[in-house]
Structure 1
């Protein structure tokens, strides 16, 4: 099953909200720190649902890829894999002993989207700023995944601060210093936030992340399950600094290429320093739906965990760019092609818990 196919599985309605449609804004003293700030641990999710991952061979490949990522991160910081108790034995066969398993049931692997958004207050306080996951606009079953953030907050004894928004953290990028960027298509969308204007969504996002300013670009509606998450295109690497990947020869007939160029121009016009790396060309998987994103990396304690796609030239360019933007960190590259076939990457599969 391909993530871009936008299949509507049975039971996709899931939980519309655990706290009501309107909710309340996260308290302003809390904020999401930079991803490169120290972590207490990383959370990930075990992909297990047979409606979502119907091909047993590809499901096995996907699980091994998730295990490879978890094992790589565990060399640098603690990793917790979320899975129902009955799924632990299958996960343990692929995971290293350093990865801890918690009994929180999952369906899919995208912890960036359905996992908790941790916020800090700078005084050793930690909470979860809650944006309700609804299966990317009711496109996929999420009976379990729609409850993960709340269940983790309960297990950790943390307050859950509802934002009144439906959506996914992969749809907004934050620098931890007051600035957000996002594609409108992932938020100003009837499948997530019906009846809310862009201004109201922006207000709630700024409150949820403890940020002050937001940069929007249009994105792409209805062409992939995420409505074009920005974290596969552009990432903050520091205050006012962005790393993004673009095709060397963009095809303006491709809505993703056109939207990517628009996002680049918007970011430059906003005064940000934008460093561009090319998308891979000579890659192992040539499918048009394959997401070959160097930007979809994860920063953990002492390392950057990133994808390589088999294009020796662009793989080397991406590695050098990551080393430049994250000096002093080890750059670890992995073959995560199954995630690209599903429409995502390493960042999509991880969620950091900041150290306090």
Structure 2
């Protein structure tokens, strides 16, 4: 006999089930809205980050003036179309300002070199509209160049941009990866699976660690050429996405 007590017990169980399922759905939606992904570089963005970081110790006194002029030309040109933030050493602030003009925002920082695409963070976004910066632990392209200060650039830029840092134990550079902004990436094995960056990390383990960080669903692996240049063959050396991959 279906008594009132059994009715309320069944109704309570049904109600609890509905609430639990609703909570699970809400939790899933919340997780999805907070899932990070790396946009394509060609998508609209708030600003470009650069580094006025060339030094005589690395570039030599003969090349240094021309390198600085080229950096300034890039910054001034970009600043005509979008905000530009440039890192600069304290003792080179006046020189940088004289070269880049007033449109470029200068940030005093300690630097080893100018390659901020590799030393800086990889910015990620989510559906909730939040932004974060992934710090990939720059190590001077596998210890080939001094990086006492450049290994800290990612955290510094994140702080100046006012976004939280997403940490990982993976070691790589921004130039190691090309994305289409829809879940597909191009990566070179010679760079990321090199023992001078990620010793003992298998391709499967690397994918397991990287894909959730950047919202990836597919990685196109290129072999690359270890030792071919200082970077061991970054992905931006070989290919770019012309359309969704």
Distance, in Å, in 2 between the alignment partners of 1:92 and 1:111 is: 19
SS in 2 for 1:237: coil
Q: How far, CA to CA, are the matches of 1:223 and 1:34 in structure 2?
A: 27
* Alignment partner of 1:229 out of 223, 234, 242: 234
The normalised TM-score by structure 1 is 0.58
User: 1:173, 1:132 → 2: CA distance?
Assistant: 18
- Structure of larger gyration radius: 2
Are positions 1:215 and 2:243 aligned together?
A: no
Alpha-carbon distance between aligned partners in 1 of 2:122 and 2:109, rounded to the nearest angstrom:
16
2:115 matched residue in structure 1: 110
Alignment of 1:163-312 (within 5 A): 163-240=168-245
User: 2:193 is paired with a residue of what secondary structure?
Assistant: coil
State whether residues 54 and 67 of structure 2, in contact with CA within 8 Å, keep that contact through their aligned partners in structure 1. no
The residue aligned with 2:27 is none
- Tell me the TM-score normalised to structure 2 length: 0.83
Match of 1:156 among 157, 161, 174: 161
Query: How far apart are the structure 1 equivalents of 2:180 and 2:159?
Result: 27
Aligned-partner SS, 1:57: helix
The within-5 A match list for 1:91-170 is 91-170=96-175
In the TM superposition, what is the alpha-carbon distance from 1:28 to its structure 2 partner?
6.9
Shift in Å, 1:234: 0.7
Correspondence for 1:278: none
Q: CA deviation at 1:157?
A: 2.9
Structure 1 residue 61 corresponds to structure 2 residue 71: no
Q: Is the 8 A contact 2:53 2:89 kept in 1?
A: no
Structure (1 or 2) with the greater strand fraction: 1
Shift of 1:144: 1.0
Deviation, 1:66, is 1.0
Query: Is the 8 Å Cα contact of residues 135 and 165 (structure 2) preserved in structure 1?
Result: yes
SS in 2 for 1:44: strand
Alpha carbon RMSD of aligned pairs, Å?
1.5
Answer whether contact 1:28 1:210 (CA < 8 A) is retained: no
Structure 1: tracts of 5 or more residues without a match: 1-26, 241-356
**Separation in structure 2 between the aligned mates of residue 140 and residue 221 of structure 1, nearest angstrom:** 16
Cα displacement (A) at 1:222: 1.0
Which of 71, 79, 84 is equivalent to 1:74?
A: 79
Please say if residues 178 and 185 of structure 2, whose CA atoms lie closer than 8 Å, have aligned partners that are also in contact: yes
Offset at residue 163 of structure 1 (A): 2.1
Partner Cα separation in structure 1 for residue 211 and residue 168 of structure 2: 10
Matched, 1:44 2:44: no
Residue-by-residue CA offset, 1:129-148 (whole Å, 9 max, x unaligned): 12111000010011111101
What is the CA distance between 1:97 and its match in structure 2?
A: 1.8
Q: Is 1:33 aligned to 2:39, yes or no?
A: yes
**How many residues end up aligned between the 2 structures?**
213
> Displacement, 1:212?
0.9
Query: Quick one: distance in 2 between partners of 1:186 and 1:167?
Result: 7
Q: Mind listing any 5+ residue stretches in structure 2 that lack a counterpart?
A: 1-32
C-alpha deviation, 1:86, in angstroms: 1.8
- The structure, 1 or 2, with the larger RCO (C-alpha pairs under 8 Å, 6+ apart) is 1
Report how far residue 122 of structure 1 moved. 2.1
- Asked if structure 2 preserves the Cα contact closer than 8 Å seen for 1:130 and 1:208, the reply is no
